[in-house]
Chains A and B, each alone.
Chain A
Amino acid sequence: MADQDIQRSGVAMIRIDGSRVRQLREGQGLTQLYLATAVEVTTDTISRWENHHYPTIKRENGLRLAEALGVELEEILGKPDETAEPVEDSPPSSPATRVGIPLKKYNLLLNIGLAVMIPVVIGLMIWKKQPESGEIQIEATRSLPTACAPGLTFPVLITVHTGREMVLLVREHVPDGVEILKTVPDATSQADNTLKWIRKEGGEQLLTGYLARSAGEYGTQFTFSGSIAVRQEQKQEADISGDNAIRLEPLHWADTNGDFIINDDEILEVYDKFGGLSELGVDLDSIEEIWMGSGYRWNKNDQTIEILP
Chain B
Amino acid sequence: MDKKNTHYKKTSGIVLGILLLCLYFSVQAHAVGIVSGRYLTRTATELTLEVKLGSPTPVNLIIIQQLPPGTAPASANPPYKKYNAKKGEVRWLLRKVQPGTLRVQLKLSSPVKPDQVSAEIRCMDPTTGKLVTTQVP
Contact = CB atoms under 8 A, between A and B. Distances in A.
Interface of A: 42-44, 95-96, 103-104, 107, 264-265, 267-269, 271-272, 275, 288, 291-292
A96 B1 CA distance: 6
A95 B81 contact: no
Interface of B: 1-2, 4-5, 8, 58-60, 62, 81-82, 93, 95-96, 122-124, 126, 129, 131
B119 to A, nearest CB: 14
B131 A275 contact: no
A264 B81 contact: no
A275 B95 contact: yes
Given A43-B1, A103-B1, A103-B5, A268 B82 contact: no
Contacts of B95: 271, 275
**Top-5 shortest CB links A-B:** A96-B1, A271-B60, A292-B82, A272-B124, A264-B62
Contacts of B122: 264-265, 268
A43 B5 CA distance: 14
B87 to A, nearest CB: 12
Contacts of A272: 58-60, 124, 126, 129
B131 A265 contact: yes
Contact of A271 (B1, B59, B129): B59
A265 B8 CA distance: 45
Given A107-B8, A275-B95, A292-B82, A268 B1 contact: no
A294 to B, nearest CB: 9
Contacts of A275: 59-60, 95-96
21 contacts: A42-B1, A43-B1, A43-B2, A95-B4, A96-B1, A96-B4, A104-B4, A264-B62, A264-B122, A265-B122, A267-B93, A268-B62, A268-B123, A268-B131, A272-B58, A272-B126, A275-B59, A275-B95, A288-B81, A291-B82, A291-B93
A145 to B, nearest CB: 16
A307 to B, nearest CB: 13
Contacts of A95: 1, 4
B60 A268 contact: yes
A56 to B, nearest CB: 22
Contact of B81 (A107, A271, A292): A292
Contacts of B4: 95-96, 103-104
Contact of A268 (B5, B8, B96, B124): B124
A264 B126 CA distance: 16
A43 B4 CA distance: 12
A7 B124 CA distance: 80
B11 to A, nearest CB: 9
Contacts of B5: 103
Nearest to B81: A292
B6 to A, nearest CB: 12
B1 A264 contact: no
A95 B131 CA distance: 54
B37 to A, nearest CB: 16
Contacts of B123: 268
Contacts of B82: 291-292
A288 B95 CA distance: 12
